[in-house]
Structure 1
Amino acid sequence: MTPPDAPHNRWSDLDRPPLNVTALRRGLLRPGALWTSLEVVESTGSTNTDLAERARTGAAGEGTVLIAEEQTAGRGRLERSWTAPPRSGLFLSVYLEPGDIPVERWGWVPLLAGVAAATGLAKSAGVDMSLKWPNDLLVSVDGGERKTGGILGEFAGDGIVVGMGVNVSLRADELPAPTAGSLALAGAVSTDRETLLRAVLRSLEHWYGAWRDADGDAAASGLQAAYA
């Protein structure tokens, strides 16, 4: 038997258990739902890079979800790096194909994902979330706003890949910068990543559906008001 403190054992940090992919699929991959496939990988450079490559080669369809327990070369805006300890956060990308929506309105998709993440996390983690233009997710830690997550979108294949990184259980000594935060440091009532993932993906499904039903009109879908 592998000892629990072995360096690469998935259970080496009992406060950060691995995701249960079977349970996630059972809860999210329903008939008629947006999400059509869900994969969890142990480690990768960037879920966005991986999923974008699949989309370009036709190996990903709308509703594909790729989640990593660890990202070693995650990217934020302006090509900034995004790293965190294994299983300490949400590191995922989704592939969407809003083909019937005028392409000039596709720029709302990453903003839509920001609204979805903020509302989903606020409900499931029990913390106040806010958005900073264009897509920083903020929480309050010690009376000040701290960045706890971000959204990154890129065109790929016939659609768009939207990546998301959220600090969930990071402790103060693990933060990458003094301006960073985490849900745990913000006093979250739950840091269970499966609960948070389900909430975020269901919220994203809701907002994406409303936006598509409104033909990509941000005002008519309620997205513009929610973002403001």
Structure 2
Amino acid sequence: MTPENAPENAHDPAHDDAHESRWSDLERPPLSGTVLRRALLQPGGLWTSLEIVPETGSTNSDLAARAAELEDGAVLVAEEQTAGRGRLDRTWTSPPRSGLFFSVLLKPGAGVPVERWGWLPLLTGVAAATGLSRAAGVDMSLKWPNDLLVKVDGEERKTGGILAERAGDDAVVIGIGINVTLRADELPVPAAGSLALANAVSTDRDPLLRAVLRSLEQWYGEWRKAGGDPAASGVQAAYTAGCATLGRTVRAELPGDRSVTGEAVALDGDGRLVLATGNGTREAVSAGDIVHLRPAD
């Protein structure tokens, strides 16, 4: 919902549940805005508004365009994204209601130095993996810097991605896309996966979204309380524990046709991936510099 077409698509809370019959697709019913708002918008809590639209280009773009008028903790969910974006403007598309496609607006405030905001996408990865592991009953892992992985037939597959973008001087918009009920014949690429293909015990998107947002509220609260310190808040240790990239030999492809190959051995205090190279040196690469991160072979 861009500013240009906002009046035409203006939000009607009843529209969340009534834009089509909830039982028109038994496998992929629409989300219930009423139920989600009742569960998540609590006095004193992080989440201040939750809007669901049937379709939009990109929830990140929409939320960023309205960042100045919205409070910290605004949530925008789309049943379908037609121009979803990943890092470096890579596309992310899925069938309607087959996943969770949403963005959150966060305004960390003066208590968190801007140089620590780079931890927000990593923190979101920890929160999403934690929430989904509990609610869907699947083992989740993280591929640095922004992918959520599940195992499908013993093979690691990407089932989700995270994109963080600045919105003005005081805000960050974080977009999250998670494949929930995507079937094998609907996968955009062979390396993709979904919670359903990973044999999730539940693919009901309402409780899955609640679980992710509650987990994000908890982790974000701890991080802010610690002034954005990744160690004191536990974010750095949690990401390290769940990161499938660490311990593997990878090739980091960087701008200008440069690459670095080495064993991923740690995350430093700035969230950069530290590679131990073959010549005995260590080099830290940042998420903003990575074009691709691949297995060395």
Tell me by how many angstroms 1:172 deviates: 0.3
Give the letter for the 1:155 counterpart: R
Q: Does 1:124 align with 2:135?
A: yes
Number of matched pairs: 219
Unaligned ranges ≥5, structure 1: 1-7
Among 86, 100, 125, the alignment partner of 1:90 is 100
Q: Does 1:21 align with 2:33?
A: yes
Deviations 1:84-138 (A, max 9, x none): 0000000000000012210000001111101000000000000000000001000
Q: Give me the whole-angstrom Cα distance separating, in 2, the residues matched to 1:51 and 1:12.
A: 29
- Secondary structure at 2:236 match in 1: helix
- Who is 2:291 aligned against? none
Deviations 1:27-70 (A, max 9, x none): 00000100000000000000000000001xx2221000000000
Among 185, 206, 214, the alignment partner of 1:194 is 206
Q: Give me the whole-angstrom Cα distance separating, in 2, the residues matched to 1:76 and 1:23.
A: 29
- Who is 1:70 aligned against? 80
Among 45, 48, 51, the alignment partner of 2:63 is 51
Give the letter for the 1:153 counterpart: A
Give the letter for the 1:78 counterpart: L
Q: Does 1:179 align with 2:191?
A: yes
Q: Does 1:138 align with 2:158?
A: no
Q: Give me the whole-angstrom Cα distance separating, in 1, the residues matched to 2:83 and 2:101.
A: 11
What TM-score comes out, normalization by structure 2 length?
Answer: 0.73
- Who is 1:4 aligned against? none
Among 160, 171, 177, the alignment partner of 1:149 is 160
Deviations 1:172-214 (A, max 9, x none): 0000000000000000000000000000000000000000010
- Who is 1:159 aligned against? 171
Q: Give me the whole-angstrom Cα distance separating, in 2, the residues matched to 1:14 and 1:153.
A: 33
Of structures 1 and 2, the one with the larger relative CO (CA 8 A, separation 6+) is: 1
- Secondary structure at 1:99 match in 2: coil
- Secondary structure at 2:65 match in 1: helix
Identical columns (%): 74
Among 220, 230, 234, the alignment partner of 1:218 is 230
Q: Give me the whole-angstrom Cα distance separating, in 2, the residues matched to 1:215 and 1:143.
A: 39
Larger radius of gyration: 2
Among 115, 132, 153, the alignment partner of 1:104 is 115
- Secondary structure at 2:219 match in 1: helix
Give the letter for the 2:45 counterpart: A
Tell me by how many angstroms 1:77 deviates: 1.1
Give the letter for the 1:127 counterpart: V
Q: Give me the whole-angstrom Cα distance separating, in 2, the residues matched to 1:126 and 1:60.
A: 34
Tell me by how many angstroms 1:9 deviates: 5.0
